Amino acid sequence: MKQHISKTTLSVRAGLESDEQFGAVIPPIHLSSTFAFKQFGVEQQYDYTRTANPTRDALAEAVTVLEGGYGATVTSSGMAAITLVTACLNSDDYVLIPHDCYGGTIRLFSRLEERGLLRVKFVDQRDLNLLHQAINQYKPKIVLVETPSNPLLRIVDIQAISKILKQSNTLLVVDNTFLTPIFQTPFALGADIVIHSTTKYINGHSDVVGGIVVAKTKTLHQTMQEWANILGLSGAPFDSYLTLRGLRTLQLRMQAHEKNALALAQVLSGHSSVEKVYYPGLTSHPTHAIAKKQQSGFGGILSFKIKFGLKEVEKFFKYLEYFSLAESLGGFESLVCHPYTMTHAALSPEQKEKAGISENLIRISVGIEQQEDIIGSILEALELKSVKANPILKVMK
């Protein structure tokens, strides 16, 4: 019997020794935009890079295997991946998306609806009765799920949603950016399409903007490939090369992110200056049980509310030593973000209140630095007093 290969080995060894010309261990990068025809009038695998490219295919193949899909299409960003999925829709087709999903996704679907290209409804998907009602009412072509949500880490039950959709033609699309195939494999839970902003954990080094659409079936994959070419959404070879390089350490990084995030969440939970901690790995998290059932890890993102106003929040950021104040997430480095004025600034105060985004909410993308440094830095900043900066790290900033 063939030995089961772990995800670690798969991602480490993806495409190694595939170079037939020189026997390079690491797959070479193919930057060429065009490929010479070997014979007049005879079709070949590669002719033009928007259509297909060997370096991009190497990344697509690796992520396909990790997710357990049929095939993948590498795109130029996470938003390009979501845009590509809309190629399945006609102007009278409905999409149901989470009421609290990534702001860029909300903006994309709202603006496409304004132009009459599709119809969209926002649903709190944690309430399965509400979702069931919406599915019966709108008969959507797509239900898009994003779990955990950003920034409050709410979890929705992918398998329960897939069961509701069983007898329908609705496609279940899961944005797996926050957990990656290391901690969640949506195809095993009934998804038809899995998307990622590879900008985040899959690349993991905050130096590429990219995305990917993994399809469960050949037909869906062919549709995605065809439309990526028509719309020109395909990712660049250089970005694919870097992303594949990042993917090789995904398992190690995810484990380190989670270990640090859980330890930080536990410390913050007992802290006198902290009002509430949002991390699915805490047993106190309202949807901890679903997370435990459908995920094999809790991820590296957490949010918390401090017991102060905006002035003190500003001080907290000022005194926080080993964190960069930035909007992205999923890189090896620790980032801190103030959703109220940064990622969710476009929402009205009422929308923010409804979404639970208050002025004292802080989101952290916990990096893989030494755990004691991460926790120590947060605890010192919570004192709201200036600490003596580490001269080396300040210079490095």
Smallest separation (angstroms) from ligand PLP to the CB of 208: 9
Nearer residue to ligand PLP within complex by CB, 199 or 377 = 199
- Is residue 303 at the binding interface for ligand PLP, with CB under 6 A as the rule? no
Site string for ligand PLP, 9-28 (x = CB under 6 A): --------------------
Euclidean distance between CA atoms 366 and 296, whole angstroms: 18
- Is residue 79 at the binding interface for ligand PLP, with CB under 6 A as the rule? yes
Nearest to 27 by CA among 13, 39, 41, 37: 13
- Is residue 86 at the binding interface for ligand PLP, with CB under 6 A as the rule? no
Nearer residue to ligand PLP within complex by CB, 104 or 376 = 104
Nearer residue to ligand PLP within complex by CB, 153 or 382 = 153
Q: How many CB atoms lie within 10 A of CB 9?
A: 12
DSSP structure class, residue 301? E
Stretch that binds ligand PLP, among 73-81, 127-135, 293-301, 331-339 (CB under 6 A): 73-81
Active site residue 102: yes
Helices (H), the chain: 7-13, 54-67, 78-85, 103-114, 128-138, 158-164, 180-183, 218-231, 237-247, 250-269, 288-294, 310-319, 349-355, 371-382, 391-396
Active site residue 354: no
- Is residue 102 at the binding interface for ligand PLP, with CB under 6 A as the rule? yes
Site for ligand PLP in 351-380 (CB under 6 A): none
Stretch that binds ligand PLP, among 74-82, 87-95, 182-190, 246-254 (CB under 6 A): 74-82
Euclidean distance between CA atoms 202 and 214, whole angstroms: 14
Q: Which residues of 345-376 are buried (b: 16+ CB within 10 A; e: fewer)?
A: eebeeeebeebbbebbbbbbbbbbbebebbbe
| Neighbouring residues of 50: CB distance < 8 A, sequence distance ≥ 6 | 229, 232, 234
Which of 56, 126, 141, 200 is an active site residue?
A: 200
Out of 77, 180, 260, 334, which residue is the one contacting ligand PLP (CB under 6 A)? 77
Active site residue 50: yes
End-to-end Cα, the chain, rounded Å: 52
Stretch that binds ligand PLP, among 75-83, 111-119, 135-143, 166-174 (CB under 6 A): 75-83
Site for ligand PLP in 192-211 (CB under 6 A): 197, 199, 209, 211
Euclidean distance between CA atoms 141 and 121, whole angstroms: 12
Site for ligand PLP in 258-297 (CB under 6 A): none
- Tell me the three state secondary structure of residue 198: coil
Which of 50, 245, 276, 315 is an active site residue?
A: 50
Q: How far from chain centre, in Å, is Cα 225?
A: 21
Active site residue 175: yes
- Is residue 104 at the binding interface for ligand PLP, with CB under 6 A as the rule? yes
Nearer residue to ligand PLP within complex by CB, 212 or 378 = 212
Question: Contact, 297 vs 183, CB < 8 A?
Answer: yes
Smallest separation (angstroms) from ligand PLP to the CB of 175: 5
Q: How many chain residues bind ligand PLP (CB under 6 A)?
A: 13
Cβ-based burial of 167 (10 A; exposed 0-12, middle 13-18, buried ≥19): exposed
Site for ligand PLP in 159-198 (CB under 6 A): 175, 177, 197
Nearer residue to ligand PLP within complex by CB, 146 or 157 = 146
Site for ligand PLP in 119-158 (CB under 6 A): 146, 150
DSSP structure class, residue 34? B
- Tell me the three state secondary structure of residue 263: helix
Which of 94, 102, 278, 340 is an active site residue?
A: 102
Active site residues: 50, 102, 175, 200
Name the residues that contact ligand PLP, by CB under 6 A: 77-79, 102, 104, 146, 150, 175, 177, 197, 199, 209, 211
